Amino acid sequence: MMIGRLDLYVRQDNRLHRLDPRAKLAAVAGFLAGAMFAPVRPPWALLGLVALLGAATVVARVPLRIMARRLVAVGIVVGFPLALSRLGGEMTRLAGESLAAKSLLVAASFLVLAATSKPWELLEAVSRAPLLAGFAALAQFILRGVDILAAEVTRSNLAAALRAPRASMRVRLGGLIAVSISLLGRAAARSERQGAAMALRGFDGHFPPAPARALPVYDLLWGAAFGLASLTIGVAARWI
Amino acid sequence: MAVSAPGSDALRRARELSLAGLLGALGLLLPIGLHALGWGGKILLPMHLPLVVAAFVVGPATAASLGLIVPLLSAALTGMPPIAPPIALLMSLELAAKSGVISLLYRKLRLPMWLALPAGLVADWAVLALAAIATAGFFHISASPLKYVWAAVLLSWPGTMLQLVAAPLGVAAIERRLPRLAMERNPGRAPGDAARAAGEDREG
C-alpha cells in the first residue's frame, strides 16, 4: 500500500496508539484551543503545554529524532517571519514570537496524532461527524486513488526503463508528457468502471454514516483530560 | 436492492466521485514527485494543476470539496503543506475558491474554458488578498495586501503558465475518453457531434 509508505504513522504498541482516534481528536482540539489562548509572555503556559505534549510523545514512544526531523520544515517556514518580525516594533516582534511558538506547538501536536493513528482510522472517526461524512468519503476515494495511480506510475516507469534505458533527456521528457496524458485518460476510463460498479452495488448518491461504535470510557476520559488540561493552562495563563 | 439505470443521478454521482478521487490522488502525488526532484512547490504549484483539471470535469460542489480536502489530506499524510502556520488551511481555501469558480463557470454556466480558467485564478488571488489583510492585522504591519498578492503571483508565474497550458490538454485527454462530459455540458448536441468535438480517438 502506497499510503503506508507516505503517511507519518510510527508503528508502536502502547496506550496512546491503542486509544480511540475520536478521543485523540478531542485531545488535539483541546490542545489547539489551549495553545491559541496561551500568551507568549510570560512563557510558563507555553512551557506547560510543551510538557504535556512531551509526556504524550514519551507515552507514544515516538522517537524524538523523528519528531525533530519532521518539525524542521515547520521551523524553516516560521523562521522567516520570525526573523522578519525582529525588524518591526514591539507588537510585531511579539506577533512573530507568538506565530513561531504556537505554530511549532500545534504542528507538533498534529505530528503526534499522525504518528499514533493510521489515516484510515482518523477518516473513519471524522466520518462520524454529521457534516463531515461527505468530505471523509471523498478523502477515502482519494486515498484509494493514490494506490491505483502509484501502481500505474510504477508500471510506466518500468516500461520506460525496459524500452529505453539510455534515452536522452529530451526523449524522456517527451515520454513523461505522453505518459501523463495517457495516465489521465486511463484514470478517466477507470473512474467510469468504478462508478458503474458502485451504482450496480446500490450506491444511491449518498453515503450512509459509519456504523455506531461506542467510545470506551477509558479512552474518553484520557482524551477529555488531556484536552481540558491543555485548555485550562491556556485560559488560566490568559486570565492571570 | 434497487439498481440505478445508466444516466441516473446516482450513476453520475458515482462516476464523478471516482474521477474526483483519482484526480485528487494525482494532486497528492504530483507535489511529492516534484519535491523529490527538488522543484519548488511555490513556483510550479503542482497541487493546483490536477485540481484545476478536475474542476473542468466534475460539478462545482465536488470541485470545491476536492480543493478543500486535498491540501488538508496532504498535510495529514505527509506533513506538507504545514498545518501550522495555517498554510494548508490557506491553500484549502484558495483551491476551493479556484476549483469552485472554474467548475461553476464552465460546467454550470457553460462559459468557455478561456474565460473560466482566468476567472478561477482571480478567485484564487482574491483569497490570497483576504489572507494577506488578515495576516497584516495579526502582525500589526501596514503593508498593502496587493503587494503581497503581486509578489505571490510573480513567484508562481511558471505554475500559472503551466496551468494555462497543461490544464486544457488534460481536460481534452479526459474528454476524449469520456465524451459524455462534453455531452453533459452541451445537452442539445447529438452524441456523435459531442464525441467528435471532444476528439474521440479510442483505440480499437
Question: Would you call B173 and A185 a contact, using CB atoms and an 8 Å cutoff?
Answer: yes
The architecture of the domain spanning B9-195 is Orthogonal Bundle (1.10)
Q: What ipTM was assigned to the predicted interfaces of this complex?
A: 0.85
Q: To the nearest whole angstrom, how far is the Cα of A47 from the nearest Cα of chain B?
A: 18
C-alpha torsion sign, points B40, B41, B44, B50: positive
How far apart are the C-alpha atoms of A159 and A168, rounded to whole Å? 16
Query: Hey, where are the domains in chain A?
Result: 2-126+214-239, 132-200
How far apart are the C-alpha atoms of A41 and B32, rounded to whole Å? 38
With beta carbons under 8 A apart, name residues in chain A contacting B83.
106-107, 110
**What average pLDDT score do residues B98-125 get?**
93
Say which residues have a Cβ less than 8 Å from residue A15's Cβ, sequence separation at least 6: A59, A222
Q: What is the pLDDT of residues A150-170, one digit of tens each?
A: 887 777 777 777 777 777 777
Query: Can you give the pLDDT at residue A185?
Result: 82
With beta carbons under 8 A apart, name residues in chain A contacting B75.
110
Query: Can you give the pLDDT at residue A31?
Result: 94
Reading the block at residue A80, the C-alpha cell is 522567516
| Largest pairwise CA distance in chain B | 64
Tell me the residue ranges of DSSP E strands in chain A: none
Count the neighbouring beta carbons within 10 Å of the beta carbon of residue B103. Answer: 27
* Cα B111 → chain centroid: 16
Query: Hey, where are the domains in chain B?
Result: 9-195
In a mutagenesis test of the B interface, which of A120, A141, A206 is the best target, namely the one with the most B β-carbons within 10 Å?
A141
With beta carbons under 8 A apart, name residues in chain A contacting B31.
none
- pTM for the whole structure: 0.85
How far apart are the C-alpha atoms of B84 and A142, rounded to whole Å? 23
Is residue A215 within 8 Å of residue A192, measured between CB atoms? no
Say which residues have a Cβ less than 8 Å from residue A182's Cβ, sequence separation at least 6: B173
Question: Would you call A95 and B139 a contact, using CB atoms and an 8 Å cutoff?
Answer: yes
pLDDT at A120 over 50: yes
Q: What is the pLDDT of residues B34-82, one digit of tens each?
A: 777 666 667 788 899 999 999 999 999 999 999 999 999 999 888 888 8
With beta carbons under 8 A apart, name residues in chain A contacting B24.
138, 141-142, 145
How far apart are the C-alpha atoms of A104 and B73, rounded to whole Å? 19
